Amino acid sequence: MIRVGRGAYGYERLLARAGLGPVAGADEAGRGACAGPLVAAAVILDPQRPIDGLDDSKALGPTARERLHDEIRRSAVAVAVAVVEADECDRLGMHQADLQGLRRAVGRLEVAPNFVLTDGFPVDGLGVPGLGMWKGDKVAACVSAASIVAKVTRDRIMVAHDATYPEYGFSIHKGYCTAVHQSALDTHGPSDIHRWCFDNVVRAARVGRP
């Protein structure tokens, strides 16, 4: 049975025994947000330096995510991040933006993987074999790690945006479609980092006051 935490290294071990190591995990954060970038991350973990507590980033609190992010950065074989800004998300559409971000993150790894695990759906164009895994960010350690890196990186970006656009509360909701965010959006109209591919942003532009 594959378990959250150290037990979730089972997929990497199995693939390595089949001659497919190193194995990278890739995941994104921010696909469902109507403001800010989509951030993708790719991680190759060191099997000799297992990390306790890896899980889907959404199942972890902010303190745990920050701690695990720093530990992943210290102990992983390779970590890479790709940021797809809001205007590119609009141009590509969210699914293609997701695919592009994941491809870019994997392509930026300093150590080339021989296999890639992704959360939820397969990603083509990686140059190596891959597998999309249902709940991959909970059952495969490298995907969990990528989920955490992507989430922490994006949260930090959104906190920085809060200083530029304080009226929207980005440091609180990180650009997701909460009631507080929608109220600010309806009052102030879309900012430069809102995504026009979201219907609620288009509606707010009609009623909002710049």
Pairing mode of beta strands 130-133, 78-84: unpaired
Q: Half-sphere exposure (CA, 13 Å, Cβ side) for 175?
A: 31
Flag whether 173 is in a domain. Answer: no
Q: Could you check whether the bond before residue 22 is cis, i.e. omega within 30 degrees of 0?
A: yes
Domain with 37 in it: 5-162
Q: Which of residues 122 and 102 earns the better pLDDT score?
A: 102
Angle between helices 10-17 and 141-164 (to 10 degrees): 120
Residues 6+ apart with CB under 8 A from 22: 16, 44, 77, 111, 113, 114
CATH number at residue 120: 3.30.420.10
Flag whether 198 is in a domain. Answer: no
Q: Nearest-5° angle of CA 143, CA 149, CA 152? A: 135
Does residue 135 surpass a pLDDT of 90?
A: no
When the pLDDT of each residue in the chain is averaged and rounded to a whole number, the result is 93
Overall number of domains in the chain: 1
Tokens of 94: 């969210």
Flag whether 158 is in a domain. Answer: yes
Flag whether 192 is in a domain. Answer: no
1: confidence class by pLDDT, cuts 50, 70, 90: very low
pTM, two decimals, is 0.93
